[in-house]
Chain A
Amino acid sequence: MSGQIIHTEHTDSETGKLGMWIFLFTELFLFGGLFLVYAVFRAKYSAEFHTAAAELNAFIGTLNTVFLLVSSMTVAMSLTAIQTNKPKLALFLVTVTILLAALFMMNKYFEWSHKFEYKLYPGSEVMRNLPHGEILFFGLYYMMTGLHAVHVLVGMVLLSVNVFKIKSGKVSSSHFLLLENSALYWHLVDLIWIFIFPLLYLIT
């Protein structure tokens, strides 16, 4: 009888993971639309895209890339920790992941507010007087990094839920689907950033 129960649980986690993977596909397509628009306008206004990209701070971008890459590692390590029944280590690693995400968001905040000081935001006087290609570049910049930042926030919420669940023992070495799916989601957030970063920051 107990053997049967374990079997059902196993099935459930496979089902949950399949659902998550399909959801990640939809996320890829969501960002895919923006990448497509980027490709079209990059082809049309490649010189102006280069000029506009020089405005972005590649150092902050690189720093953020490092934060996300490391956080992807820590979240993967926390999953291994929970699977090998080390909840305290897992808790620590998830918390580090959330902190790294917070650092990423902080950087983003300074980056955006710096541009706002120059009145470089969609609809502003400064922006409207720029050449077309630059307007579109900054439009894409705000849209892509903005949508990505929303995903970072969602990921932070998911990971925070995991913190509580690990503490209360609901996420454990036998039930780690939630952490696994949150980690998958976090990797997606990371993956999308890896494409956004060079396309926006490194094309000068």
Chain B
Amino acid sequence: MSEVSNNETGNHISYLRHQGKYKGILSWLLSTDHKKIGLMYLYSITVFFFVAAILGLLMRIELIAPGKTIMEPQTYNGLFTIHGIIMIFVIVIPALPAIFGNFFLPILIGAKDVAFPKLNLFSFYLFLIGAILGILSQFAGSGPPDTGWTFYVPYSAESSTNVIFALTAAFILGFSSILTGLNFIVTIHRMRAPGMGWFRMPLFPWSLYATGWIQVLATPIIGITLLMVIAERVLRIGFFDPSLGGDPVLFQHLFWIYSHPAVYIMILPAMGIVTEIFPTFSQKPVFGYTAILISSLAIAFVGYFVWGHHMFTAGISVGSRWFFSFLTFIVAVPSAIKVFNWISTMYGGSIDLKPPLLYAISFIFLFMIGGFTGLTLGALAANIQVHDTSFVVAHFHYIIFGGMGFATFAGIHYWFPKMFGRMYNNKIANIAWGINFTGFNLLYFPQFIIGIQGMPRRYFDYLPQFQTGHVISTIGGFILLAGLTLMVYNLVRSARKGAIAPANPWHGVTLEWQIPSPPSHENFDVIPEIKTKPYFFGSTDENKSK
């Protein structure tokens, strides 16, 4: 396959320097270019991530010793609430579709932009407004919200803190998420390059497709639920208030009908990213293309019907409990299928252990720990034991941070040369990976152990017997934050000063590697015609078995 030679040759102008109608900073802020919007998401999400990560570290410092260490209990309640709200609604749910989906979905399917570029910019601003409202909730009104990111009633209807700001923020962010999902679904339906049938589409777009449907069909439920809580607070409508005849468990149902599928909004695109990385760094077609694709759709579908496993101790009926537990075990199957496929993709390939692959492999490792402990939680009897303990905290951080987070790092190291047209320092990236991986496990693994021993989640104080675990965990927190800083430093520095990247540094075969780095404003001079399945690595032997 002939590579397009160096960037900026001939009449090629990088999208980074493309000037549309507006000049200067406005050429970014008002740009409807999907790549620029993707980068604006990347920058704002990185900032919010570090804010929330530092809030998390403050909580860890508080927990280094029993009793009060650096803050009051009420401050701690505010911290875990805003840490959760920012991390979940501002970072983990939107990040992958918004950053990499925006940037690479059109390129991967051979299109010049998404279906509705203006709507895309509009969702970015909705996102920004929502995120800023979330931050404002800390300062405006009557004190930081202290309900936890789950807003459980009746407390969220009664708490005297500034809950309405946080609810509105989550509502607006949800609307932004709906519009992004809608945009991607339509883009995938209507904008694929000629010859790219559904089953010639790369797997990252497939995972975005599955994600898009969850965003569109589940998010409105949380929207109306949040509106009902707002109405409950402002107008004293008693939907969830037992003293007015309402039902608090009904809130939990409505909340998790969205918020469990939301977990798959987080993890499906992450799986899509590593699915792009394994073939490239093994120089081998992905193993089981159809199986991966179907498992994405299966996760999206079954994921709708497992929300009750968050409520095993809330007094729901025995029948529904075993039903939800059973489905929880079923939804683990397609995830396992993907893991087998990724490992089989590497098997017999010529593996090139670059930073993206390191992160992708550690994604599998951490995701499996997160997944198996998820089954522990999905089992009825075990759930009673570990419900609301730090075991749960460790479990979802392994899934969300170890899974989605590490996949994000994999993605940024994979696509960085394409996005910025420069290479990063491999050595520093490898060192940062090592620190991150060590720090992450030190931070969260002890929480499994003290969780099983009975350490509750969201507690400001604890019994002395848990202190060893907490100390190790806090040390891990510092190490992780150091690693993250090093990683971001490397990337930021390389975006300006790194060596010029070739069009195809990793010898990938999907469409983004067939155009210059960074791409031009229109992505493709000529819309490509697709004649093969994706991940077709020339005419080597392993392809014949496909």
Beyond A18-B189, A40-B247, A135-B244, is A122–B217 a contact (Cβ under 8 Å)?
A: no
User: Nearest chain-A residue to B178 (Cβ)?
Assistant: A26
List chain A residues, Cβ under 8 A from B186: 15, 18-19, 22
Tell me the smallest distance from the CB of A122 to a CB of chain B, in Å. 4
**Assembled-state Cα–Cα distance A29/B182 (Å):** 14
Tell me the smallest distance from the CB of B115 to a CB of chain A, in Å. 5
Beyond A19-B115, A136-B239, is A37–B250 a contact (Cβ under 8 Å)?
A: yes
Tell me the smallest distance from the CB of A195 to a CB of chain B, in Å. 15
A36 within 8 Å of B (CB atoms):
yes
Check if A122 sits within 8 Å of B237, measured CB to CB: yes
Tell me the smallest distance from the CB of B228 to a CB of chain A, in Å. 7
List chain B residues, Cβ under 8 A from A28: 220
List chain A residues, Cβ under 8 A from B190: 11, 14-15, 18
User: Nearest chain-A residue to B191 (Cβ)?
Assistant: A15
Tell me the smallest distance from the CB of A41 to a CB of chain B, in Å. 8
**Assembled-state Cα–Cα distance A132/B244 (Å):** 6
A169 within 8 Å of B (CB atoms):
no
B221 within 8 Å of A (CB atoms):
yes
B475 within 8 Å of A (CB atoms):
no
B456 within 8 Å of A (CB atoms):
no
Check if A143 sits within 8 Å of B231, measured CB to CB: yes
**Assembled-state Cα–Cα distance A11/B189 (Å):** 11
B238 within 8 Å of A (CB atoms):
yes
B245: contacting residue among A23, A26, A136, CB under 8 A: A136
List chain A residues, Cβ under 8 A from B119: 19
List chain A residues, Cβ under 8 A from B220: 26-30, 32-33
B225 within 8 Å of A (CB atoms):
yes
Interface centre among B186, B191, B221 (most CB of A within 10 A): B186
Which residues of B202-232 have CB atoms within 8 Å of chain A's CB atoms?
Answer: 216-221, 223-225, 227-228, 231
Interface centre among A22, A131, A133, A147 (most CB of B within 10 A): A22
Which residues of B48-93 have CB atoms within 8 Å of chain A's CB atoms?
Answer: none
List chain A residues, Cβ under 8 A from B250: 37, 40
A123: contacting residue among B116, B235, B245, B254, CB under 8 A: B235
Which residues of B359-405 have CB atoms within 8 Å of chain A's CB atoms?
Answer: none
**Assembled-state Cα–Cα distance A140/B237 (Å):** 8
B236 within 8 Å of A (CB atoms):
yes
**Assembled-state Cα–Cα distance A142/B182 (Å):** 30
Tell me the smallest distance from the CB of B105 to a CB of chain A, in Å. 15
Check if A37 sits within 8 Å of B221, measured CB to CB: no
B219: contacting residue among A26, A135, A139, CB under 8 A: A26
Check if B189 sits within 8 Å of A135, measured CB to CB: no
Beyond A15-B115, A22-B216, A136-B244, is A122–B236 a contact (Cβ under 8 Å)?
A: yes
A45 within 8 Å of B (CB atoms):
yes
- Secondary structure call for the B interface: helix
List chain A residues, Cβ under 8 A from B227: 143, 147
List chain A residues, Cβ under 8 A from B218: 29
**Assembled-state Cα–Cα distance A31/B227 (Å):** 11
Check if B254 sits within 8 Å of A33, measured CB to CB: yes
A32: contacting residue among B183, B191, B221, CB under 8 A: B221
List chain A residues, Cβ under 8 A from B178: 26
- In the complex, which range does the number of interface residues on chain B fall in? 20 to 34
B246 within 8 Å of A (CB atoms):
yes
Tell me the smallest distance from the CB of A17 to a CB of chain B, in Å. 10
Convert A141-175 into 0s and 1s, putting 1 for each residue whose CB lies closer than 8 angstroms to a CB of B.
01100010000000000000000000000000000
**Assembled-state Cα–Cα distance A40/B221 (Å):** 15
A34 within 8 Å of B (CB atoms):
yes
**Assembled-state Cα–Cα distance A140/B224 (Å):** 12
A59 within 8 Å of B (CB atoms):
no
List chain B residues, Cβ under 8 A from A133: 245
List chain B residues, Cβ under 8 A from A26: 178, 182, 216-217, 219-220
A118 within 8 Å of B (CB atoms):
no
User: Nearest chain-A residue to B244 (Cβ)?
Assistant: A135
**Assembled-state Cα–Cα distance A121/B236 (Å):** 10
B238: contacting residue among A19, A29, A121, A135, CB under 8 A: A135
Check if B185 sits within 8 Å of A136, measured CB to CB: no
Tell me the smallest distance from the CB of B477 to a CB of chain A, in Å. 38
**Assembled-state Cα–Cα distance A44/B242 (Å):** 13
**Assembled-state Cα–Cα distance A41/B266 (Å):** 33
**Assembled-state Cα–Cα distance A37/B250 (Å):** 8
Beyond A123-B235, A139-B238, is A30–B224 a contact (Cβ under 8 Å)?
A: yes
Tell me the smallest distance from the CB of A15 to a CB of chain B, in Å. 5
List chain B residues, Cβ under 8 A from A18: 186, 189-190
**Assembled-state Cα–Cα distance A23/B181 (Å):** 10
Convert B150-187 into 0s and 1s, putting 1 for each residue whose CB lies closer than 8 angstroms to a CB of A.
00000000000000000000000000001000110110
Check if B228 sits within 8 Å of A143, measured CB to CB: yes
User: Nearest chain-A residue to B119 (Cβ)?
Assistant: A19
**Assembled-state Cα–Cα distance A41/B236 (Å):** 17
Interface centre among B116, B236, B238, B245 (most CB of A within 10 A): B245
**Assembled-state Cα–Cα distance A37/B237 (Å):** 13
Check if B216 sits within 8 Å of A25, measured CB to CB: yes
List chain B residues, Cβ under 8 A from A16: 116
Check if B217 sits within 8 Å of A19, measured CB to CB: no
B217: contacting residue among A11, A29, A41, A121, CB under 8 A: A29
Interface centre among A32, A139, A147 (most CB of B within 10 A): A139
Check if B239 sits within 8 Å of A29, measured CB to CB: no
Tell me the smallest distance from the CB of A151 to a CB of chain B, in Å. 13
Residues of B within 8 A of A (CB): 115-116, 119, 178, 182-183, 185-186, 189-191, 216-221, 223-225, 227-228, 231, 235-239, 244-247, 250, 254
6 contacts between A and B (CB under 8 A): A16-B116, A25-B217, A26-B217, A36-B254, A121-B235, A139-B239
Q: Give 10 nearest A-B pairs by CB, closest first.
A: A132-B245, A33-B224, A139-B237, A123-B236, A29-B220, A30-B220, A122-B235, A15-B190, A122-B237, A26-B220
Residues of A within 8 A of B (CB): 11, 14-16, 18-19, 22-23, 25-34, 36-37, 40-41, 44-45, 121-123, 128, 131-133, 135-136, 139-140, 142-143, 147
Q: Other CB < 8 Å A-B pairs besides A122-B231, A136-B238, A143-B237, 8 of them?
A: A19-B186, A33-B224, A41-B239, A123-B235, A132-B244, A133-B245, A139-B238, A147-B227
